[in-house]
């Protein structure tokens, strides 16, 4: 989908920010002022000092998410810094609100390293029920997320990592049904070893995938690859790869699945022809996919998808992160794990009507009213089962409440 530049800039000039803060309490007289602020606020503060858990009853923490970015890896633009990243982060917060009724606050920070981001996140954590680390370059994003997950008592996730992995696994769940293959029997090639590529590989392995091969700019990661960072080195050991440094030509030959997650990667029709019959090609690089649908299909790809919206089988992370955040917040989760992410993938895959499942329809419609409620419900119930939830809510409650929030006219005003 091509967006007119001048129309987009006109929208931003007119909006002056894509999110606002509105009051939930009216102040019409001195009593209202005292109830909401000085004396009333003091009562609430004293209550929290006696019982820290009532912060969720006396404040907006339970539906508030910090979206923290240093602007070092903005999608399609790279390292543009925190100021230039702000319109993009505001847009992401708008999507959290519109698609999940989550009050996300953009915090674009002038950080010099991973330690700065961690320190900032820890300082603001008391205000928020969850944190999303957004558009931070790899491997810093892994360092930040993994440290915060162990040092905070609220869920910390990274859409570039977890959202990407969840959507890819969901698409593969449906695509494999169409080609009559099982994930453990497949060979997968992932081109791109950044935040998304590494995270997709990790989740596929946890889901039971067969052989998984990952390539960075120097070829297959593994012994002999001269440009691996520490995250890639750790993954290469887990993969047991022995062809380190070998080319894409070798990696893709005989593969069942190709997943493109490299910003400037390309594959040819010859590469697709070298794959096994019934091949699945997910060309997710943006703004340009690794190969077009026409080229891939003519070369024999049985199923094709790309990351851009406005195309068949579009796979934006929007399918995942609003529902993941909604589910985590609704059970006051203390963290998340791979089982929660796989549950989210199953929920997204299951939102495709079985009667509509086809090679041009392996992922739900972007504006489906089922996706976020299903994902939120799956995330919430799995968090409870995994012992990561502070609230034990009955099955279907989060689904029903999420649907009413989004489509029943009771969305929070702030």
Which sequence positions are flagged as catalytic?
Answer: 37, 92
Annotated binding-site residue? 182 = no
Under 8 Å between Cβ of 133 and 121: yes
H/E stretch holding 45 reads helix 38-50
386 is in an annotated binding site: no
Buried b (16+ CB within 10 A) or exposed e, 149-181: beebebbbbbbbbbbbbbbbbbbbbbbbbbbeb
**DSSP labels for 262-285?**
-TT----HHHHHTSPTT-EEEE--
Q: In a 3-state reduction of DSSP, which class is residue 213?
A: strand
135 annotated to a ligand binding site = yes
- DSSP letter, residue 332: T
Q: What share of the chain is helix, strand, coil (3-state, %, to 5)?
A: 50, 10, 40
Give the list of residues 6+ apart from residue 260 with CB closer than 8 angstroms, or none.
191, 192, 267, 281, 282, 283, 284, 285, 289, 290, 291
CA angle 124, 130, 134 (to 5 degrees): 85
Q: How many CB atoms lie within 10 A of CB 91?
A: 13
Residues 6+ apart with CB under 8 A from 41: none
Distance, CA of 350 to CA of 348 (rounded, Å): 5
Output the known binding site for a divalent metal cation.
134-135, 160
Residues flagged as binding site = 134-135, 160
């Amino acid at each position: 989908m091509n967006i007119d530049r001048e129309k987009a800039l006109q929208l931003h000039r007119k909006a002056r920010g894509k999110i606002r803060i509105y009051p939930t309490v009216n102040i019409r007289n001195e009593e209202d002022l005292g109830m909401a602020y000085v004396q009333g606020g003091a009562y609430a503060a004293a209550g929290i000092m006696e019982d820290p858990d009532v912060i969720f009853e006396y404040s907006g923490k339970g539906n508030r998410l910090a979206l923290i970015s240093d602007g070092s890896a903005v999608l399609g633009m790279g390292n543009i810094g925190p100021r230039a990243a702000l319109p993009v982060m505001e847009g992401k917060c708008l999507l959290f609100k519109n698609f999940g009724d989550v009050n996300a606050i953009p915090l674009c920070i002038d950080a010099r390293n991973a330690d700065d981001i961690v320190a900032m996140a820890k300082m603001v954590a008391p205000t928020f029920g969850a944190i999303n680390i957004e558009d931070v370059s790899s491997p810093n994003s892994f360092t930040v997320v993994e440290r915060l997950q162990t040092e905070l008592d609220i869920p910390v996730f990274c859409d570039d990592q977890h959202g990407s992995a969840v959507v890819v696994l969901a698409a593969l769940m449906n695509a494999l049904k169409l080609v009559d293959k099982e994930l453990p029997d497949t060979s997968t090639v992932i081109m791109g070893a950044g935040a998304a590529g590494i995270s997709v590989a990790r989740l596929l392995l946890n889901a039971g995938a067969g052989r998984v091969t990952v390539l960075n700019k120097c070829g297959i990661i593994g012994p002999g690859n001269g440009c691996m960072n520490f995250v890639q080195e750790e993954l290469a050991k887990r993969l047991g790869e022995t062809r380190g440094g070998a080319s894409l030509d070798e990696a893709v030959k005989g593969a069942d699945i190709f997943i493109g997650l490299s910003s400037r990667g390309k594959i040819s029709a010859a590469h697709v022809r070298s794959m096994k019959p019934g091949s699945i090609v997910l060309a997710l690089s943006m703004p340009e996919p690794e190969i077009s649908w026409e080229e891939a299909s003519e070369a024999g790809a049985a199923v094709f998808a790309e990351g851009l919206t406005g195309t068949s089988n579009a796979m934006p992370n929007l399918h995942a992160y609003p529902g993941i955040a909604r589910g985590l917040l609704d059970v006051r989760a203390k963290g998340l794990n791979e089982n929660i992410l796989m549950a989210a993938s199953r929920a997204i895959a299951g939102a495709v009507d079985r009667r509509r499942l086809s090679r041009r329809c392996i992922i739900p419609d972007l504006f489906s009213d089922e996706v976020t409620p299903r994902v939120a419900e799956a995330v919430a119930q799995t968090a409870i089962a995994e012992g990561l939830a502070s609230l034990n809510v009955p099955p279907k409650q989060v689904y029903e409440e999420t649907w009413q929030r989004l489509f029943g006219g009771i969305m929070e005003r702030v």
